[in-house]
Chains A and B, each alone.
Chain A
Amino acid sequence: MTTLSVNGVQREVKASPDTPLLYVLRGELDVMTPKFGCGLAQCGACSVLADGEEIRACITPISALEGKDVTTVDGLPARWAKQKGLTPDPERLHPVQQAWVDEQVPQCGICQFGMMIKVTELLEHNPKPSDADIKAALTTSGPSPHLCRCASYAAILDGAHRAAVLMAEGGAK
């Protein structure tokens, strides 16, 4: 048994310790927002935060995550509420998610779960990033670029800037 902290909840996991996190999240824990894209850490569709740092769930064994807080897109609203001391509200999205709606960012949307994780990581460290900062975060800061086949990069930049504003304002509706 491995104990994982996923979206603020301690979960007991039966899978062997060398199992990549992605298969445990989706198969055993029913946490479905990280998507299978390549299994090679080449695309970013499976990204999650581990202690606030973006990692690729498709290649990271759960043994490497014991004692770390794993956050997926499902857990972003609670993460934000905790950071800001807000009372839980099922209607409230994380500012990055809200910005993705406001700016109508996704086309098909499969990459956006990883994009939102990456932009959350960026904004937690750099609350007012430039275009160049956002592009660098999405391209060179991780194991591989975060790829969007629909090429919604212009919308993603708009979304990241909007999220920065929402976070500075202290919350999303």
Chain B
Amino acid sequence: MQTPDQIDTIPADGLSIHGARLSRRGFLGTGGALVVALGLAADFARAEVSAQGASLNAAQPSSWIEIHPDSTITMRTGKCDFGQSSIYTAYRQIVAEELGVPLEAITTVIAGDTDRTPDGGGTFGLLRNASTNMRKAAAYTREAVLALAAQRWGVARSALTLRDGVVSGAGHSEKLGALVAGQDLHLAIPVEGKLTDFRGLVVTGNPPMKAVADYTIVGQAVKNPILRPKVSGQLPWVGDIKLPGMLHARTIHPATLGSTLIAAGKLDTAQFPKAKIVQLGNLLAVVSPDEWEAVQAAQAVAADTKWSEWKGLPTSEKLLDHLQHRVDWSAVPPTQGAKKGDVASVKGAKTHRASYFMPYFKHAPIGPSVSLGDVKPDGSVTVHTHSQNPQFLRMALAKMLGVGEDKVVVRTYAGPGHFGRSNGGNAGSEDEAVLLSRALGVPVRVQWMRHDDMGWSTQSSTAYADISIALDAQGRIASYQATHSGPPMQDDRPIGAILAGLPVIDPPTASNPSPIHTAKMGIADRWVYGAVEHVAETGRGTIQLGEKESLIKVGLRDHSMRTPVQFQQNFPREVAMSEAAMLAGKDALQFRIDHTDDPRVKAVLERLKLEAAWDTRPSPAPRTKGAKLLRGRGVSFMLRDNGYWACAATITVAPATGEVKVERMVLVSDPGIVVNPLQLKRQAQAGCLMGVSQALHEEVSFDEGAVTSLDWATYPILTAQEMPDLKIVLAPYAGAQIYGQGSESANALAAPAIAGAFLDATGKPVRRLPLRPDYVKAALKA
């Protein structure tokens, strides 16, 4: 029997694989593997030493993809799962497809943990940019395996193929595992970027990719393998992790978003014998080995704690007035969106001009933020949490503690979806857990209570828009002008670090060099009505409300949430389109088709017309005399990440009570290549209903000092009983070359479609969210 070293002839400096490099570190008696690791330029490797530290070390044979001798495969990604399932379904499908192995061969997915995954970056755009890393790593690996086999068999690489986990050609055939068995193979692939940056590392180069026409695994309705352990209770959740000697903590947050601590309340040690107070600047907490004691003791101490008074917020009732009349929008440079022609030159026959308003929304996960911090005497830090960007969180924790990033490890677990809130690292409690653990010398689990999560997390920021649409004599849009104004959407400062007075990254400002952390208002909503000749869109930004005035520089901190910024810009545009159609005496859906020059926009809207059995006619809907319920239908459109989405809503309005009921929602999507129709459908169904929730119920209320939406009674969301009929149609265009993306568009489409239906039902516009009875009645009176 020949040993691999007798038959393989890999040169000492390795084999070049389309810019990647395959080398063999040695031969192993048993086992063996091909591992795909980071290839780093010399300068880059030096710069990365501190960040890599406790991560998979780029200089070691660590991996994105590991092929084992039994032909099973482990894949690793720094992205996490928030219920989308993509890393367990779509990512496995993409890797299996590109590599040429059965889906079942990928038996293990390691995700998120900063010490066990290679790439970092935030969990967003999972199929847009993020999947490219895995796809390229798989393509490089496939090419390396083919090169290895070609060397072994002394045949041309072009004569070989890798299919179903078997390399064959030129009279040879061998399983993947058998090719790597007994060897320590190392494939270094080219990357750029910084591990702990917001976007993490990016795999570069152009390995040959499988032709889309040859796909057999991408496109399958693959089930999510994580669901069985989830529903059986076997999968540990973030709040379930326990460590020996662990204390339970409840933090006591300030009375307002601007208060400082005057005096911590007294702890009744007779009543709570095991509890202890910890104070770090303005960060106050009660800990106990008994969780229920910690809850009760914190409640008692909180009631007795004195905070300074602070009033620096406009109140939610006066929010729109504040944005329109009290914010200095000139302090932050404006941004330009779509611009063509000369809107100022257009004199329309009729003009629609209106302001639209979006309140603050809460991400409002069902489980409040919970983390377990573990700071060891040697200064090493581990935090067990649920984050959308663990490497960026690691950076923030190291900065807060003043230690090297190599000292910090972030481990991630299943947890409650929070829809963008932690894509910049923290969801809320991580830094508090770490600071308390450092102070006490034992592991500390911080569980936020519902009111902490509602009152002290970030929110999706408010916005308003002024829209002006001029119609020509034929009722076509002659010009479109929009100004979108609002606070920023990406404050990634950990709250515990702020309260404790420790270093944090900068809040969003006009001069913040990080593009994602700017206070400038970018135009996120893609202009899709290309037949309009004169268009001008402007964005106006400001800093977060109350931040400058707050004694602790907090105020209303904002963070991206499903289609951030685009949600706030698409609602005004799409409702204004429906209003302009009514003003023109045209059907709202046909009006949109008539103003687009993009065949994919047109195709999706035509399909919606069919699927929704749309009755083409101008608004308002014909009324039955004496009817107590008015019924109407509305339409909305969104282009996001190359995904084309349209929605039709049917609603009833009861003018006497102001109650709106959503009867039916129909969504049509052309997202490009559908990787997994089953999971996309489930995401779109849920996203659409979450959008209905935002449309009907959601608004963060706040007084002059604090958020007053503190539980599910004061921040209601959609219930099962309010669920409308729901139809999801996936209609990818033939010849799509890009993976489907933008399923969160389903969220954003509901509100403008429902507002359009309201206009159709009543003949009156509703230009703000939510459509709750008091606002509806006001809209009907206007």
Cα–Cα, bound, A144→B368 (Å): 18
- Find the A residue at minimum CB distance from B223: A104
A-B CB proximity, top 8 nearest: A151-B689, A108-B83, A108-B417, A107-B83, A139-B721, A138-B720, A145-B719, A42-B712
Tell me how far the C-beta of B35 lies from the nearest C-beta in chain A, rounded to whole angstroms: 32
**Contact at B682–A155, with CB atoms within 8 Å?**
yes
Given A140-B721, A155-B685: A97 touches B367 (CB 8 Å cut-off): no
Q: Which of A98-135 contact B (CB under 8 A)?
A: 100-101, 104-113, 116, 134-135
Most buried by A among B364, B366, B414, B685: B366
**Contact at A144–B712, with CB atoms within 8 Å?**
yes
Given contacts A104-B223, A138-B721, 19 further A-B contacts (CB under 8 A): A26-B240, A39-B449, A42-B450, A43-B712, A73-B233, A93-B231, A97-B231, A101-B227, A108-B83, A108-B365, A108-B366, A108-B417, A138-B720, A149-B416, A149-B417, A153-B718, A153-B720, A154-B685, A154-B686
Cα–Cα, bound, A54→B257 (Å): 38
Most buried by A among B686, B687, B688: B686
Tell me how far the C-beta of A28 lies from the nearest C-beta in chain B, rounded to whole angstroms: 9
Interfacial chain A residues near B414, Cβ < 8 Å: 108-109
**Contact at B686–A147, with CB atoms within 8 Å?**
no
* Interface residue A53 (Cβ < 8 Å from any Cβ of B): no
Tell me how far the C-beta of B118 lies from the nearest C-beta in chain A, rounded to whole angstroms: 25
Cβ-neighbour of B237 out of A110, A116, A138, A144 (below 8 A): A110
B contacts with A, residue count (CB < 8 A): 55
- Find the A residue at minimum CB distance from B241: A32
Label chain B's interface by main secondary structure. mixed
16 A-B residue pairs with CB within 8 Å = A35-B367, A37-B450, A40-B712, A73-B231, A93-B228, A93-B232, A107-B682, A107-B683, A109-B230, A110-B367, A111-B366, A135-B721, A138-B719, A138-B721, A151-B693, A152-B682
Interfacial chain A residues near B717, Cβ < 8 Å: 147, 149, 151
Cβ-neighbour of A33 out of B83, B233, B416 (below 8 A): B233
- Find the A residue at minimum CB distance from B248: A27
* Interface residue A23 (Cβ < 8 Å from any Cβ of B): yes
Interfacial chain A residues near B292, Cβ < 8 Å: 15, 19-20, 23, 27
A contacts with B, residue count (CB < 8 A): 56
Interfacial chain B residues near A64, Cβ < 8 Å: none
**Contact at B720–A156, with CB atoms within 8 Å?**
yes
- Find the A residue at minimum CB distance from B720: A138
- Find the B residue at minimum CB distance from A102: B223
Cα–Cα, bound, A146→B718 (Å): 10
* Interface residue A136 (Cβ < 8 Å from any Cβ of B): yes
Cα–Cα, bound, A26→B719 (Å): 27
Interfacial chain B residues near A144, Cβ < 8 Å: 712
Contact count A vs B, C-beta below 8 Å:
172
Most buried by A among B83, B690, B693, B720: B720
* Interface residue A69 (Cβ < 8 Å from any Cβ of B): no
- Find the A residue at minimum CB distance from B242: A30
**Contact at A147–B366, with CB atoms within 8 Å?**
yes
- Find the B residue at minimum CB distance from A38: B450
Interfacial chain A residues near B711, Cβ < 8 Å: 38, 40, 42
Cα–Cα, bound, A155→B678 (Å): 11
**Contact at B721–A147, with CB atoms within 8 Å?**
no
Interfacial chain B residues near A72, Cβ < 8 Å: 233
* Interface residue A168 (Cβ < 8 Å from any Cβ of B): no
**Contact at B364–A149, with CB atoms within 8 Å?**
yes
Cα–Cα, bound, A135→B720 (Å): 5
Tell me how far the C-beta of A16 lies from the nearest C-beta in chain B, rounded to whole angstroms: 8
Interfacial chain A residues near B682, Cβ < 8 Å: 104, 107, 152, 155
* Interface residue B239 (Cβ < 8 Å from any Cβ of A): yes
Tell me how far the C-beta of B721 lies from the nearest C-beta in chain A, rounded to whole angstroms: 4
**Contact at A74–B231, with CB atoms within 8 Å?**
no
- Find the A residue at minimum CB distance from B229: A101
Q: Which of A54-78 contact B (CB under 8 A)?
A: 72-74, 77
Interfacial chain A residues near B370, Cβ < 8 Å: 36
Interfacial chain A residues near B692, Cβ < 8 Å: 151
**Contact at B723–A153, with CB atoms within 8 Å?**
yes
Cβ-neighbour of B686 out of A77, A116, A155 (below 8 A): A155
* Interface residue A148 (Cβ < 8 Å from any Cβ of B): yes
* Interface residue A29 (Cβ < 8 Å from any Cβ of B): no
* Interface residue B713 (Cβ < 8 Å from any Cβ of A): yes
Given A37-B367, A144-B712, A151-B693: A110 touches B416 (CB 8 Å cut-off): yes
Interfacial chain A residues near B228, Cβ < 8 Å: 93, 101
* Interface residue A45 (Cβ < 8 Å from any Cβ of B): yes
Q: Which of B707-749 contact A (CB under 8 A)?
A: 711-713, 717-721, 723, 726
Interfacial chain B residues near A42, Cβ < 8 Å: 450, 711-713
Q: Which of B263-317 contact A (CB under 8 A)?
A: 290-292, 295
**Contact at B224–A104, with CB atoms within 8 Å?**
yes
Cβ-neighbour of A40 out of B290, B450, B723, B726 (below 8 A): B450
Cα–Cα, bound, A152→B237 (Å): 19
Q: Which of B55-88 contact A (CB under 8 A)?
A: 82-84
Interfacial chain B residues near A113, Cβ < 8 Å: 233
Tell me how far the C-beta of B661 lies from the nearest C-beta in chain A, rounded to whole angstroms: 13
Interfacial chain B residues near A43, Cβ < 8 Å: 366, 712
Most buried by B among A39, A40, A77, A108: A108
Interfacial chain A residues near B437, Cβ < 8 Å: none
**Contact at B689–A153, with CB atoms within 8 Å?**
yes
**Contact at A110–B415, with CB atoms within 8 Å?**
yes
Interfacial chain B residues near A112, Cβ < 8 Å: 230-231
* Interface residue B447 (Cβ < 8 Å from any Cβ of A): yes
Q: Which of B211-234 contact A (CB under 8 A)?
A: 223-224, 227-228, 230-233
- Find the B residue at minimum CB distance from A14: B290
Cβ-neighbour of A135 out of B689, B690, B723 (below 8 A): B723
Most buried by A among B367, B415, B419: B367
**Contact at B415–A108, with CB atoms within 8 Å?**
yes
* Interface residue B650 (Cβ < 8 Å from any Cβ of A): no
Interfacial chain B residues near A157, Cβ < 8 Å: 720, 723
Cβ-neighbour of A151 out of B84, B232, B686 (below 8 A): B686
Most buried by A among B224, B364, B450: B450
**Contact at B83–A36, with CB atoms within 8 Å?**
no
Interfacial chain A residues near B230, Cβ < 8 Å: 106, 109, 112
